[in-house]
Amino acid sequence: MEIAINLTPELEEQLRKKAIHRGQDISIVASELLASVLEWETQDSEEAIKGIQQGLEDFDAGNFRSFNEFAEEQRRKYNLPE
């Protein structure tokens, strides 16, 4: 399947340079980069969902603190004014 994608001249130039540097066809480089980004996005989403689930489980188990406690800890940690 062939898909046409419009790139800015700057982005196209970056892609061409990367392809030349790798000694590969530009379409292969573009495909590999896109696959890498899509995989990263999927992984990032899964990790975010797991983090949210863990936070909800902690909250249900009573493992939480008030915003004021959190804010005070951050002020101390980063030496922020009150």
Q: What is the pLDDT of residue 82?
A: 84
Q: What is the pLDDT of residue 40?
A: 97
Per-domain residue ranges for the chain? 10-78
pLDDT tens readout for residues 8-63: 999 999 999 999 999 999 999 999 999 999 999 999 999 999 999 999 999 999 99
What are the φ and ψ backbone dihedral angles of 14, each rounded to 5 degrees? -60, -40
Residue 1 has pLDDT above 90, yes or no: no
pTM beyond cutoff 0.85: no
